[in-house]
Amino acid sequence: MSSDTSDIELEYDSTEGYEDDEDAIDLDSNDPSSDDGDGSSFNMVPMATQPTKPLYQVEYSVLQESELTQRQIREIEHVAGIIGIASKDAALVLRYFGWNKDLLMEKYMDSPEKVFRDVGIRTDLGLNKPSSSRRRTRSTPKFVCQICFNDEPNQETVYLPSCPPLPKDSDPRSRSASSYQSVKHEFCRDCYTYYVEAKIKEGESRTIECMESECKQIVDENTIVNLLTVRDANLPESEKLMGRFQTLLNRTFVDDNPALKFCPAPNCIYTIECHVSKKSLDTVVPSVTCHCGQRYTSFCFGCSLADHQPCICPIVKLWLQKCEDDSETANWISANTKECTKCHSTIEKNGGCNHMTCKKCKHEFCWVCTGVWADHGMAWYSCNRYEERDEHGKDQQSKSRASLERYLHYYNRFANHEQSLRLDKELHAKTEKKMEEIQHASNLSWIEVQFLNKAVETLSVCRTTLKWTYAMAFYLEKNNFTALFEDNQRDLEQAVEDLSGLLESPIEADTIADLRQKVTDKTVYVHKRNEIMLEETARDYQDGRVFWNTHFKL
């Protein structure tokens, strides 16, 4: 399956609706040399040309539920053919090993008997017999179900062929146990069906066990399907349960496969396949976009959070934790308060006087040097003992204050772009209104005024990038890469603000053509600056030029 590219690129590939070629927005040019800083010129990429995939993009596929089901069937048939067992047993084995075929085959080659024993498959029943030849139901002439105590003659009963037999004289359910070659874990069909239905409603699928007390045998998929589909009296309910059962099987299949992940959007039915390993998340930001209709809502395959390019997952985790926990409150306390030197209560200085009195123990001391106030003589408002204060304490307070100021520098800019992203939702509504105004004031069609909508969408994408560059910059070690990174960050931010200002411009009939050209050019330029930011950072990750001032674990 071919890889997906972001919606923003697909959107801008289209030149439909522009009367002249020079009006078309081309956002696929990856040539930084064509960037002259004002967006007035750029290279046109022919529509037939397939551009090279940027470094910051990863290969991925979007799968539907039916594709997940078919993939499971193929895996089951493949393993069944290799090992020579029935499909239902192959399904049990695969699910037991979490769909890890390599691990399965390794264990199977070591000891096939142990694999079957651990999974709960009886080898004395003929493993290569087709599933359909295994009896699961039968009409029993004399039987009492120990769940509902139904003793109706010739009632249909259910049992699992692979369950271990009970001693004949210990079976309390059968009135003629001697007539059976081996006694099964057998119950009436209605009770078994209700049991399976209840388990599915509880969210179970692959771990539904035999109804017999303490029996760990897993009910195979064929038996469950047979129980759910034969109840014609309540067909809609059966279909609903069958659908839920298949959904649960798909969910376990995805959960067991590190290359698969559900789209985190509410009620989305799609699954993303991306073969990016966990150990590569220190240099790769696997941003993917689902087909669920929530436009421009990409997410990170590595951590399932919203798209955070170009910041890698471990740094995102550190940043979010830093923003949420009390570490910065502690920094503020360290920078703006001191402990009483006698009782160690925390005291905040709320006035200009350096003469402090602890409310708890009434100890009097100097705020500047924390020395006993009586030793200061008449120098109440300026400490002449400053030279004698502990240098370590002074350094610690200065470091705490500097650390807090540095954090606030990056956090305020991060939060500003986050707030701007929320306001962009309102900007979308304003843009729709402005597009209508332009139509009424000119002879442009609805397609021709889409340049405003594209500009707003570009702003949203670029503000997301900018937001995470500040989180990333907070943890960057100062070097040549940092200087170039901050230059690209500054250029992108300036371009974003320029475009945002253009979108706030008042609409006048005689300036619409000029506004359209300026917004179109600036949109191209902003998109190009964003591409440069992401591409250069991805290349620096790849070449090992990015160093952090902190440690993290993948």
The Cα–Cα gap between 417 and 470 comes to 10
What is the pLDDT at residue 381?
45
Q: How far is CA 157 from the centre of its chain?
A: 46
Segment (H or E) for 356: strand 355-357
What's the longest Cα–Cα distance across the chain?
111
| Intervals of the chain under pLDDT 50 | 1-26, 28-48, 127, 129-135, 170-182, 296, 379-382, 384-389
Q: Are strands 260-262 and 271-273 parallel, antiparallel or unpaired?
A: antiparallel
Segment (H or E) for 348: strand 346-348
C-alpha separations of 480 from 105, 390, 419, 532 in Å: 50, 37, 31, 17
**Can you give 424-471 as a three-state secondary structure string?**
HHHHHHHHHHHHHHHHHHCCCCCCCCHHHHHHHHHHHHHHHHHHHHHH
**Token pair of 100, please?**
């890890």
What is the pLDDT at residue 219?
87
**The Cα angle at residue 273 between residues 270 and 279, in degrees rounded to 5:** 135
What is the pLDDT at residue 412?
85
Contact 216, 184 (CB under 8 A): no
What is the pLDDT at residue 503?
80
Q: Which of 313, 353, 361, 462 is catalytic?
A: 353
Residue with tokens 């059976």: 180
The Cα–Cα gap between 551 and 404 comes to 20
Residue with tokens 């409603």: 201
Amino acid at 431: T
- Reported pTM: 0.71
Q: What are phi and psi of 157, to 5 degrees?
A: -120, 165
Contact 546, 479 (CB under 8 A): no
Residue 210, C-beta contacts closer than 8 angstroms, at least 6 positions apart? 160, 163, 185, 216, 217, 218, 219
The Cα–Cα gap between 259 and 272 comes to 8
Residue 71, C-beta contacts closer than 8 angstroms, at least 6 positions apart? 63, 253
Segment (H or E) for 195: helix 189-201
Please give the span between the terminal C-alpha atoms of the chain, in angstroms, as a whole number. 29
Contact 91, 220 (CB under 8 A): yes
Contact 309, 55 (CB under 8 A): no
The Cα–Cα gap between 382 and 7 comes to 64
C-alpha separations of 355 from 270, 339, 348, 392 in Å: 66, 14, 12, 22
**The Cα angle at residue 144 between residues 143 and 149, in degrees rounded to 5:** 155
> Per residue in 515-527, pLDDT tens?
888 989 999 999 9
Q: Of 255, 258, 271, nearest to 302 (Cα)?
A: 258
Residue 375, C-beta contacts closer than 8 angstroms, at least 6 positions apart? 385
Residue 433, C-beta contacts closer than 8 angstroms, at least 6 positions apart? none
* 353 catalytic residue (yes or no): yes
The Cα–Cα gap between 278 and 267 comes to 26
Segment (H or E) for 77: helix 65-83
Q: Which long-range contacts (CB under 8 A, 24 or more apart) does 502-506 make?
A: 502/455, 503/427, 503/431, 503/434, 503/452, 503/455, 503/456, 503/459
Residue 545, C-beta contacts closer than 8 angstroms, at least 6 positions apart? 479, 480, 481
Beta partners for residue 111, in sequence order: none
Cis amide bond preceding 310, omega within 30: yes
- Burial class of 22 by CB neighbour count within 10 A (0 to 12, 13 to 18, 19+): exposed
